[in-house]
Amino acid sequence: MDSQTVTELFPLLILVPIILLAGLLVGSIGIGGVVLVPALSYLAGIEIHIAIAACMLSYVFSGFVGAVIYARRGTIRWVTALWLCFGAMPGAYLGALTVAYLPQRTITFVVGIFIVFASVNALRESKDISQNKQKISKVILTLIGFLVGLGSAISGTGGPLLLVPMLIWLKWPVLTAVGLSQIIQLPIAVLATLGNYLHGEINVQLGLSIALVMMIGVAIGARVAHRLPALLLRRIVAFVLSVVGISMLWQVFS
């Protein structure tokens, strides 16, 4: 490794604890990737579109680790996951094509508002709904997948940040929502990475470096999630959502 490469990777080494924490959150509550793009952009000085593309590449590997662990625990509803992914794939590819042309400030505002409302709704739920068998039609699941894929590729969040609050809003069990979020980020990340490779710019070395740390955090977080009481997990998710949503709105108006 030459001196130039070491210099380029040095800021990433400083961010290792943040990336590890993001992986831990993604594995346990599905939400955490949202901190990566701002950290890479503001703390490491990486151009935001390069940061988004690198994060999307990293989610291919961290999502696979999370999906395997949740699948082994029997947490994933595979038919639901199939329809979500069916919608997410074209959404993610379209998002990757348009990310450079859309105002990030507006996107951040819309996503922030939605997340805040979802967190308030989750915090108001005072009972354990871990056995809820709420059903959604295939058409609605496909539409949800498309919106999650589109919004995730545009914002660089990977999928869980949008899917988890959507399913919580519909009163699905949190562990089920988190398990599905591990699956949906795979096609989103793959299609967005393909779009970035063909039509944009992607730093493969940066993305793989992030992935290496993320996978460790996700593996730990996924195991922690299955040991927590369902209601406690729901409240943790709601709290993190509220912090993320408010932070995004603060970023818009500051």
List, for residues 50-89, the tens digit of each pLDDT value. 888 888 899 899 989 999 999 998 888 899 999 999 998 8
Cα dihedral 182, 184, 190, 195 in deg (nearest 10): -140
∠ CA 172-174-177 to the nearest 5 degrees? 70
pLDDT-based confidence at residue 146 (cuts at 50, 70, 90)? very high
Query: Where does residue 73 rank: exposed (0-12), middle (13-18), buried (19+ CB within 10 A)?
Result: middle
Domain assignment present for 3: no
What pLDDT does residue 12 have?
Answer: 58
The whole-number average pLDDT for the span 182-196 is 83
The whole-number average pLDDT for the span 216-237 is 87
The whole-number average pLDDT for the span 219-230 is 88
pLDDT-based confidence at residue 142 (cuts at 50, 70, 90)? very high
Residue 88 CA to residue 175 CA, distance in Å, equals 20
pLDDT-based confidence at residue 11 (cuts at 50, 70, 90)? low
Domain assignment present for 218: yes
Domain assignment present for 2: no
Total domain count, the chain: 1
Domain assignment present for 34: yes
The whole-number average pLDDT for the span 183-212 is 84
Q: Which of 121, 105, 122, 103 is nearest to 248 (CA)?
A: 105
Domain assignment present for 4: no
First to last CA, the chain: 40
Please tell me what DSSP assigns to residue 39.
I
More confident residue, 157 or 225: 225
**Helix 104-124 vs helix 160-169: crossing angle, to nearest 10:** 40
Which tokens is 140 given? 């609605």
Asked whether the whole model's pTM tops 0.85, one would answer: no
pLDDT-based confidence at residue 165 (cuts at 50, 70, 90)? confident
Q: Show the domain range for 80.
A: 9-253
